[in-house]
């Protein structure tokens, strides 16, 4: 409907409308300042580096050429890799979203025991560089795996499609979980109770009320998991085996075969796939309305205790949790045994190593991640607010640019930074600043996506009411919007910090002699087969993240935000 109306506008009146919006912005300085600053950051650290990469892919000794792109679409090998990547992305996105929803539903809707355990477990896989999971999968389920071989005597070849799919699902479902719990908590129980009062049974309520209300969230979660699976390099390189994905091929071609032009061209193709996925998601889901929070006082949800639902859900959640736990138990275990696979006697050698040689990595990483955290959480919310609630020229471009920052494989984005910011007018390489920027840009888009999903659930009339009563833009944002979506803000903080501590590929070209990152050190150890030191690093990393999460939740609680409260 809206679309057909838009189509009636002529070019001219379109322009007038933009002009009107711009004038409106001038009347609202806070809005304008935030639009401008978000735009500048996005332009500097997403759009311009992207442009550098694009230029690298079409330039050969100063001349324009599309040679690399032709090469990709002529090579059956490259086409097969592209198909592999998409297939993997679809499988991982569907399974990952399903697992995420199951956990989110179980912890918010069902009356089951061990909820705290599930809550912790479902974010655990985020708190470590992703290759910890693939390594653990090999050690547990590989040909000499503790479970497959030692326990069942099966010589299982974990390398390949299913091994990779398993590790990616486990690595990426937590993001979906965080997003979906926030949304489920935001659904007013009275909506569902009304359906029940009108005679619907539980499964009908689930099918016709809960799921439709969750659609934008589910689609968003699936999109995020899909894109992350596409860009994932850490798992794919460790456990992919003969199954090659685009992110790995980009690395191989650019770093292994010195063919940066071909590699960047492939990266641009990868980016296009992500953009296409985003476009499809947007055009299918984006136009419908899913408002549930309308400002009315609501009550505590009556949890579903129906055994036919709770028992199977509990069993599945438990099985996944136990798998995750057993993977993570390998970390402290590996950190304290003398030699993985050979000598399982106790030693503090690796921990000592980490706190001597590794100390500078630990310090730098914590400092940089702590800085990036508030910036990316705040920016994520502000950007989402602008995108969902405000009208200003270039809004769509802003939304798309932010999404692109996660769609690029990290190595390529890092390379884009080096290409762009190693020469005047702006030299940033070698500073801690560029690392903070990389961390912010890599985690902010996810905060933005989940805040967008949350904001779409909230009726704008609440904010409009405040606005009519005389509150300015910033007042509405701070005292109405933020309180309504504070769990999203909190999980954005947590996520940014975790991401900051565990990001690998983007920063490999950005670490300098002065500023080092822990994950790079872990990757070096894994590369050399020194699992003891790698595990000890991971243990320290997990301990730091755990400690900071605890502090953050205490801090948030003193601010009066109760994370478990419903609306």
Partner 1 sequence: MKKSIALLFIMVLIVAMTPVFAQGAQERPQTLTVYVGLLEEHGAAICQAFEKATGIKTQYVRMSGGEIYARIRAESQNPQASVWYGGGSLTFIEADNNGLLEHYISPNAAIIDDKFKDPNGAWTGIYSGYLGFYADGDWLKRNNVEMPRTWNDLLNPVFRGEIVMAHPGSSSTAYNMLTTILQLQGEEKGWEYLVRLNENIRQYTKSGSAGGRMVQLRETALTIGYLHDAVAFKREGYEHIVIAAPEDGTGYEIGAVGIIKGAPQLEAAKKFVDFVLTAEAQEIGQTVNALQFLTNPNARPPKEVESIKDTKLIDQDDAWSGANRSAFLNKFNQLTRTAPPN
166, 260, 452, 541: residue in contact with partner 1 (rule CB under 8 A): 260
Name residues contacting partner 1, limited to 494-533 (CB under 8 A).
508-509, 511-516, 520-521, 524-525, 527-530
Instruction: State how far the Cα of 229 lies from the Cα of 237, in Å rounded to an integer.
Output: 13
- Residue with token string 């949790």: 321
Shortest Å distance, C-beta 339 to partner 1: 5
From the list 169-177, 220-228, 233-241, 280-288, the region that binds partner 1 by CB under 8 A is 233-241
Q: Which residues, listed in sequence order, are joined to residue 293 by a DSSP beta bridge?
A: 458
47, 275, 339, 466: residue in contact with partner 1 (rule CB under 8 A): 339
Shortest Å distance, C-beta 344 to partner 1: 11
Instruction: State how far the Cα of 268 lies from the Cα of 82, in Å rounded to an integer.
Output: 12
The reply to whether 237 sits near partner 1 by the rule CB under 8 A is yes
The reply to whether 244 sits near partner 1 by the rule CB under 8 A is yes
289, 307, 559, 564: residue in contact with partner 1 (rule CB under 8 A): 559
Beta carbon nearer to partner 1, 138 or 335: 138
Beta carbon nearer to partner 1, 318 or 549: 549
Beta carbon nearer to partner 1, 117 or 161: 161
Residue 98: alpha-carbon gap to chain centroid = 16
Name residues contacting partner 1, limited to 378-397 (CB under 8 A).
378
**Torsion angles phi and psi, residue 63, rounded to 5:** -110, 150
Shortest Å distance, C-beta 178 to partner 1: 22
The reply to whether 268 sits near partner 1 by the rule CB under 8 A is no
Which pair of structure tokens corresponds to residue 114?
A: 């061990």
From the list 61-69, 106-114, 211-219, 234-242, the region that binds partner 1 by CB under 8 A is 234-242
Beta carbon nearer to partner 1, 498 or 517: 517
Question: What end-to-end distance do the CA atoms of the chain give, in Å?
Answer: 32
From the list 116-124, 178-186, 341-349, 398-406, the region that binds partner 1 by CB under 8 A is 341-349
Shortest Å distance, C-beta 435 to partner 1: 9
Q: Is 231 exposed, middle or buried (0-12, 13-18, 19+ CB in 10 A)?
A: buried
Q: Which of 542, 401, 349, 528 is nearest to 49 (CA)?
A: 401
Name residues contacting partner 1, limited to 22-61 (CB under 8 A).
none
Instruction: State how far the Cα of 329 lies from the Cα of 345, in Å rounded to an integer.
Output: 16
Shortest Å distance, C-beta 487 to partner 1: 16
The reply to whether 409 sits near partner 1 by the rule CB under 8 A is no
332, 393, 430, 472: residue in contact with partner 1 (rule CB under 8 A): 430
Q: Which of 114, 111, 134 is nearest to 122 (CA)?
A: 114
Beta carbon nearer to partner 1, 543 or 551: 551
Instruction: State how far the Cα of 548 lies from the Cα of 281, in Å rounded to an integer.
Output: 35
Which pair of structure tokens corresponds to residue 460?
A: 């704008």
CA triplet 132, 136, 138: central angle to 5 degrees? 120
DSSP-derived pairing of the beta strands 59-60 and 63-64:
antiparallel
Number of H helices, E strands in the chain: 27, 4
Contact string 362-381 vs partner 1 (x = CB under 8 A): -----xx-xx--x---x---
Report whether 180 contacts 211 (CB < 8 A).
no
CA dihedral sign, ordered 41, 44, 47, 50: negative
Instruction: State how far the Cα of 567 lies from the Cα of 557, in Å rounded to an integer.
Output: 17
CA-to-CA separations, 461 to 31, 291, 495, in angstroms, rounded:
18, 11, 30
- Residue with token string 């355990």: 117
The reply to whether 436 sits near partner 1 by the rule CB under 8 A is yes
Name residues contacting partner 1, limited to 117-136 (CB under 8 A).
none
Shortest Å distance, C-beta 467 to partner 1: 19
The reply to whether 256 sits near partner 1 by the rule CB under 8 A is yes
Beta carbon nearer to partner 1, 300 or 356: 356
Report whether 372 contacts 439 (CB < 8 A).
yes
The reply to whether 224 sits near partner 1 by the rule CB under 8 A is no
Q: Is 301 exposed, middle or buried (0-12, 13-18, 19+ CB in 10 A)?
A: middle
Beta carbon nearer to partner 1, 217 or 254: 254
User: If binding means CB under 8 A, how many residues of this protein chain bind partner 1?
Assistant: 75
Shortest Å distance, C-beta 156 to partner 1: 11
Instruction: State how far the Cα of 198 lies from the Cα of 213, in Å rounded to an integer.
Output: 18
Shortest Å distance, C-beta 157 to partner 1: 8
208, 423, 461, 562: residue in contact with partner 1 (rule CB under 8 A): 423
Other Cβ atoms less than 10 A from the Cβ of 208: the count is 13
Name residues contacting partner 1, limited to 74-93 (CB under 8 A).
76-77, 80-81, 84
CA-to-CA separations, 134 to 41, 53, 305, 325, 527, in angstroms, rounded:
34, 29, 36, 14, 14
422, 459, 460, 552: residue in contact with partner 1 (rule CB under 8 A): 422
Beta carbon nearer to partner 1, 12 or 343: 343
Contact string 142-181 vs partner 1 (x = CB under 8 A): xxx------------x-xxx--------------------
């Amino acid at each position: 409907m809206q679309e057909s109306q838009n189509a009636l506008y002529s070019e001219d009146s379109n322009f007038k409308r933009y002009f009107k919006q711009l004038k409106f912005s001038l009347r609202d300085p806070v809005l304008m300042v935030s639009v401008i600053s978000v735009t500048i950051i996005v332009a500097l650290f997403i759009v311009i580096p992207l442009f550098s990469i694009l230029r690298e892919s079409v330039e050969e000794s100063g001349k324009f050429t599309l040679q690399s792109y032709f090469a990709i679409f002529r090579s059956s090998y490259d086409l097969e890799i592209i198909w592999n990547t998409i297939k993997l992305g679809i499988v991982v996105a569907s399974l990952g979203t399903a697992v995420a929803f199951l956990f989110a539903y179980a912890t918010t809707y069902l009356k089951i025991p061990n909820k705290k355990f599930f809550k912790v477990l479902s974010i655990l896989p985020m708190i470590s560089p992703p290759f910890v999971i693939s390594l653990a999968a090999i050690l547990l389920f590989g040909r000499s795996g503790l479970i497959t071989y030692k326990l069942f005597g099966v010589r299982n070849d974990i390398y390949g499609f299913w091994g990779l799919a398993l590790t990616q699902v486990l690595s990426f479902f937590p993001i979906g979980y965080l997003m979906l719990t926030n949304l489920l908590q935001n659904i007013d129980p009275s909506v569902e109770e009304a359906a029940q009062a009108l005679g619907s049974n539980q499964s009908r309520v689930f099918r016709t009320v809960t799921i439709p209300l969750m659609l934008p969230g589910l689609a968003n979660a699936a999109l995020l998991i899909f894109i992350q699976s596409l860009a994932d390099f850490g798992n794919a390189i460790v456990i992919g085996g003969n199954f090659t994905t685009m992110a790995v091929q980009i690395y191989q071609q650019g770093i292994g075969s010195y063919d940066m032009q071909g590699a960047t061209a492939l990266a641009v193709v990868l980016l296009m796939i992500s953009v296409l996925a985003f476009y499809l998601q947007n055009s299918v889901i984006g136009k419908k309305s899913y408002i549930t929070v309308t400002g009315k006082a609501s009550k505590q949800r009556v949890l579903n205790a129906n055994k036919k639902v709770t028992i199977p859900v509990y069993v599945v959640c438990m099985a996944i949790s136990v798998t995750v736990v057993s993977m993570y138990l390998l970390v402290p275990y590996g950190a304290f045994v003398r030699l993985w696979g050979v000598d399982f006697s106790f030693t503090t050698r690796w921990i000592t190593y980490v706190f001597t040689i590794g100390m500078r990595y630990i310090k730098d990483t914590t400092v940089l991640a702590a800085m990036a955290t508030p910036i990316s959480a705040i920016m994520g919310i502000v950007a989402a607010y602008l995108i969902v609630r405000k009208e200003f020229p270039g809004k769509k471009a802003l939304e798309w640019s932010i999404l692109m920052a996660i769609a690029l494989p990290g190595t390529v984005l890092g390379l884009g930074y080096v290409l762009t910011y190693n020469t005047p007018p702006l030299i940033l390489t070698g500073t801690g600043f560029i690392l903070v920027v990389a961390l912010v840009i890599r985690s902010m888009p996810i905060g933005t996506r989940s805040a967008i999903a949350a904001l779409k659930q909230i009726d704008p009339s609440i904010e409009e009411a405040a606005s009519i009563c005389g509150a300015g833009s910033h007042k509405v944002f701070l005292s109405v919007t933020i309180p309504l979506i504070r769990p999203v803000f909190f999980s954005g903080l947590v996520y940014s910090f975790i991401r900051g501590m565990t990001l690998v590929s983007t920063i490999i070209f950005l670490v300098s002699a002065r500023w080092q990152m822990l994950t790079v050190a872990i990757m070096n150890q894994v590369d050399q087969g020194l699992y003891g030191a790698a595990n000890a690093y991971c243990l320290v990393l997990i301990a730091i993240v755990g400690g900071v999460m605890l502090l953050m939740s205490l801090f948030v609680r003193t601010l009066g935000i109760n994370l478990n409260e419903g609306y």
